[in-house]
Amino acid sequence: MKDHITDMTVGDPVKHILLFSLPALIGNIFQQIYNLADSVIVGRFVGPDALASVGATASVTFLFFALCNGIGKGGGIIVSQYYGAGDDDSVKKCIVNTGFIMLIVPVMFGIIGYMISPWLLRILATPGDIIADAIMYIRYMCIGLLFVSLYNYLASMLRALGDSRTPLYFLIFSTLLNVGLDIMFVYNLKMGIKGAALATIIAQFVASAGCFLFACWTNPYFKLRSRDFVIQARMCWMVVRLGVPMSLQFALISISAMAVQRVVNAYGTVVIAAFTATSRIEQLIHQPYTTLGASLSTFTGQNFGARKNDRVYSGYVKGLLIMLVMTAVMILTMQLFGGAITGLFVTDPRVVELGGFGLRITSLFYPALGLIYVVRGVLLGVGDGFFALFNGIVEVIGRFTLPILMTSYMGMGSTGIWVSAGVVWVLSGVTAWWRYRTYLAPSLKS
């Protein structure tokens, strides 16, 4: 083991997965506090309409983040495979070539997002009383797109090498900075939504700059020489070939979220605020699954590169067991305290009651959600970019059809919004399991 690097091709798989997951989990939770800080502070100090404005932008901003971050994740998987194979030169070249792409893509999508955000929000039928603030918030997020994308790229590279600690250190610092700036700009200076957006951009810049400088100082694979700074068409193509399906998957999920948001917007400010609160809470719920999936991607990538298929299978089975334990705890928490957790975001009793009800519904579907992340992590670790895109298509179909079907044609009203989310997870989970059984399982046993 080198400093800040973990070799997962030897040793206990459970120990590697858990030790890698814990810092990544803490980091991902702090990552979500970026959004939570904006929502909590805006919701409590400005009001439900302001919270609805921030919530109405979530699916749009996630679309542009997704288009950029898939490339970084794809590069990270390739780095983990090269590291597992012991090819240090290719590790460095992949870091450089992925970085080159990640300097171009966020700028391009940031400009596009800034220009078309009013059009997208009107398509989503955003209520007229909140659309001006929503446009302003999205445009600030587009300005900060480069910083958040660079941080996520660096985190993907470091985690591919088994270092989940370095991204965590700077994320914690920048998140605390974001909360402090939120309070100062929104509460003390009365800057409203504009202040929340400005605080996020500053914090994202600190995270990306700090993580890069520290990685160059401590990680041997970031101690690059002039001969490493060569743009290779083949290497860029490998990153794009794996990263683009992941980006498209995330983008399709985001587009499907826009379809859901349009259904939500038709029910008015109270439902929008409740849906925003539950969506922010479920972003936290996703984090244990996200970190478990990322751990399995790194574990699988290194062992697949080292041709240790037995360890890939062992990681998959033990990942499922870890997921089931986590799921049981989270279901119990949401069933008992869903309303109280929603109350952290807003004081309106109507929003609190509806949000708690929604969380109790969706928590029943958490096992399917966990299955998606476990299987996706293993498949991405072996470089199965096709599944990411296919799974995204399945989710889009579900999110476009089921909310309308359940809210309107099945007579569920706003309750159908939360029920449909859970059913979509079931469809995606079954699809993921089918892909593993037919594509990867036979090769692991051969």
Cα–Cα distance measured from residue 17 to residue 99, given in angstroms and rounded to the nearest whole number = 26
**Do 416 and 362 meet the contact criterion of CB atoms below 8 Å apart?**
no
* 366 vs 24, more confident: 366
pLDDT by residue (tens digit) across 243-270?
A: 887 777 777 777 777 778 888 888 888 8
Q: Is the dihedral of CA 329, 335, 337, 338 positive or negative?
A: positive
User: What tokens were used for 157?
Assistant: 């590279």
Q: What is the mean pLDDT of the segment spanning 191-206?
A: 85
Residue percentage of the chain with pLDDT more than 90: 15
Q: Which of 76-80, 334-338, 365-369 is least confident?
A: 76-80
Look at residue 1 and tell me whether its pLDDT is greater than 60.
Answer: no
CB of 21 closer than 8 Å to CB of 291: yes
- What pLDDT does 4 receive? 58
318 — pLDDT class (breaks 50, 70, 90): very high
For CA atoms 313, 316, 318, 320, the dihedral sign is negative
Q: Is the pLDDT score of 238 beyond 50?
A: yes
3-state DSSP of the chain: CCCCCCCCCCCCHHHHHHHHHHHHHHHHHHHHHHHHHHHHHHHHHCCHHHHHHHHHCHHHHHHHHHHHHHHHHHHHHHHHHHHHHCCHHHHHHHHHHHHHHHHHHHHHHHHHHHHHHHHHHHHCCCCCCCHHHHHHHHHHHHHCHHHHHHHHHHHHHHHHCCCCHHHHHHHHHHHHHHHHHHHHHHHHCCCHHHHHHHHHHHHHHHHHHHHHHHHHHHCHHHCCCHHHCCCCHHHHHHHHHHHHHHHHHHHHHHHHHHHHHHHHHCCCHHHHHHHHHHHHHHHHHHHHHHHHHHHHHHHHHHHHHCCCHHHHHHHHHHHHHHHHHHHHHHHHHHHHHHHHHHCCCCCCHHHHHHHHHHHHHHHCCHHHHHHHHHHHHHHHHCCCHHHHHHHHHHHHHHHHHHHHHHHHHCCCCCHHHHHHHHHHHHHHHHHHHHHHHHHHHHHHHC
Size (the chain), residues: 446
Predicted pLDDT of residue 36? 66
Query: pLDDT of 274-284, one tens digit each?
Result: 888 888 788 78
- State the pLDDT at residue 369: 93
The answer to whether the CB of 247 falls within 8 A of the CB of 68 is yes
Report the alpha-carbon distance of residue 313 to residue 14 in Å, rounded.
12
Q: Do 273 and 48 form a contact (C-beta atoms < 8 A)?
A: yes
> Span 192-207, mean pLDDT?
85
Residue 26 has pLDDT above 60, yes or no: yes
pLDDT of amino acid 446? 57
Q: Look at 160 and 37; give whichever has higher pLDDT.
A: 160
158 has a pLDDT exceeding 90: no
Q: How confident is the model at residue 351 (pLDDT cuts 50, 70, 90)?
A: confident
Name the average pLDDT for the chain.
84
* pLDDT value of position 169: 82
> Quick check: 2 pLDDT over 60?
no
Cα angle 421-43-116, degrees, rounded to a multiple of 5? 65
Where along the chain do its domains lie? Answer: 13-445
Rounded Cα–Cα distance for residues 157 and 94 (Å): 9
pLDDT tens track for 75-127? 888 888 888 888 888 889 999 999 999 889 889 988 998 998 888 888 877 77
How far from the centroid of its chain's Cα atoms is residue 188's Cα?
Answer: 31
User: What average pLDDT score do residues 353-358 get?
Assistant: 90
What pLDDT, on a 0 to 100 scale, did the predictor assign at position 365?
95
Question: Rg for the chain (alpha carbons), in Å?
Answer: 21
Residue 335 has pLDDT above 90, yes or no: yes
